Amino acid sequence: MLKRDLEAFKDWFSGYTQGFFTDNTEDRRNIDLKIRHTFLVCENIVGIAQSESLNKNELLLAETAALFHDIGRFLQYEMYRTFLDSISVNHARLGAEILVEKNVLSRIPVNEQELILNTVRFHNTFELPSLADLQKILFLRLIRDADKIDIWRVFSEYYEAAEEDRASAAGLGLPDDPGYSRNVLSCLYKKTSASLSDLKTLNDFKLMQLSWAYGLNFRHSFRLTSERNFIRRISSTLPQTEEITEAVALLKEFVDEKAGGAMNEGN
């Protein structure tokens, strides 16, 4: 694909998303949240892809995948007024369907269209699907890191904002009480990701988000996580019990160590 293809895709994206604007302040805030998220995931993925020395074509493809990764969010919100897949629709699969239905990608080669569609379709699965195609795996790793890093930004800002300024559809609707679940915290100690179905409180959700750091794939991702202080910003809103403080300290150490590796390489 060429630079002008990416420009055409960006134009399509702004036209398409503008179609979801309404006069309702709350709806507008939720739509704007996803537009801003999209552009910041684009920035993240380009940064990661450059530090992994991807070629020019792959850089354009990676940015396109990021541009479209959450394209299903807009129709999901219009239809269900939520970003919760569990009570509405799988937004990743919906996004891939929209791209096909609207023939958005037809100007680039078929193998590149397939790569983008695959990346969009599987960007949100709990585990990486097992695929034989190494480029497809690489792109899923890229989008998952770029996405998580911006989701941490969204939620750092969300937890720090006054309640009336929060984008309503960003939360999970979990009770914001002081409790947290032992099995979710234990995932953090085991360096695995907790699953959505285990979450009972907002604190569980925060612990799950923190545990994502163990699943990052690229050094540049660790560096961004460390530089932007997401671990501290999210963990400071958790109850400061000894077991949480300890788990967070281990996580920070892990992230900083991985981030340091990248800096020693002279980038």
Please return the burial class of 104, using the count of CB atoms within 10 Å of its CB with bins 0-12, 13-18 and 19+.
Answer: buried
User: Do 139 and 65 meet the contact criterion of CB atoms below 8 Å apart?
Assistant: yes
Per-residue x/- marks for Fe ion, 58-87, CB under 5 A?
Answer: ------------x-----------------
Interaction pattern, residues 122-161, with Fe ion; x per rule: CB under 5 A: --x-------------------------------------
Residue number of the CB closest to Fe ion reads: 70
- Residue 64, both tokens: 């396109």
Give the closest residue to 202 by CA, choosing from 162, 246, 247, 170.
170
In 3D, which of 110, 78, 109, 108 has the Cα closest to residue 94? 78
Q: Which is nearer to Fe ion, 137 or 154 (CB)?
A: 154
Residues touching Fe ion: how many (CB under 5 A)?
2
Q: Minimum Å distance from CB 65 to Fe ion?
A: 12
Binding piece for Fe ion, criterion CB under 5 A, among 7-15, 77-85, 120-128, 134-142: 120-128
CB of 256 to Fe ion, least distance (A): 27
C-alpha 176: how far from its chain's center?
A: 22
**Shortest Å distance, C-beta 85 to Fe ion:** 9
**CB-nearer residue toward Fe ion: 124 or 226:** 124
CB closer to Fe ion, 70 vs 150 = 70
Amino acid at 202: L
Could you tell me where the DSSP H helices lie in the chain?
Answer: 3-18, 25-51, 56-68, 72-80, 91-101, 110-121, 134-160, 182-190, 202-211, 219-227, 230-235, 242-263
DSSP-derived letter for residue 176 is: -
74/180 with CB nearer Fe ion: 74
Could you tell me the smallest distance in angstroms from the CB atom of residue 148 to Fe ion?
Answer: 10
Question: Least separation, in Å, of the C-beta of 156 and Fe ion?
Answer: 18
In the complex with Fe ion, which residue's Cβ is closer, 152 or 180?
152
Q: Is residue 239 within 8 Å of 180, Cβ to Cβ?
A: yes
Nearer to Fe ion (CB atom), residue 45 or residue 262: 45
Write out the residues near Fe ion by the rule CB under 5 A.
Answer: 70, 124
